[in-house]
Amino acid sequence: MPQVSLYIDKETLIKVEQLAQKSHTSISKWVGTKLKRLIKDEYPDDFFELFGAIQDPSFKRPEDQSFDADIKRLNL
């Protein structure tokens, strides 16, 4: 498995050590899990709970428009 070296300040290292210990996992696994979550292409856990959270009357779904007014396109 590939390895990565991190250069961080002492205070950050202490916090990472404490969090890893609290999670009952190694520092390497804890950091790896956090990095995977950070770069994963998916919505945050509570993303869909935001639906309908804004109560603003100006937020309206536009009416569907007919394709009749669409510009003719060149067939390739």
Report pLDDT digits (tens) over 51-64: 878 888 887 888 88
pTM of the model: 0.52
pLDDT of residue 49: 86
Per-residue pLDDT, 40: 81
* 54 neighbors 64 (Cβ within 8 angstroms): no
Q: Which is nearest to 52 in space by CA: 40, 61, 42, 43?
A: 61
Site of tokens 């998916």: 42
Positions in the chain short of pLDDT 70? none
The two tokens of residue 61 are: 């779904």
CA-closest candidate to residue 33, choices 11, 16, 14: 16
Per DSSP, 58 falls in state T
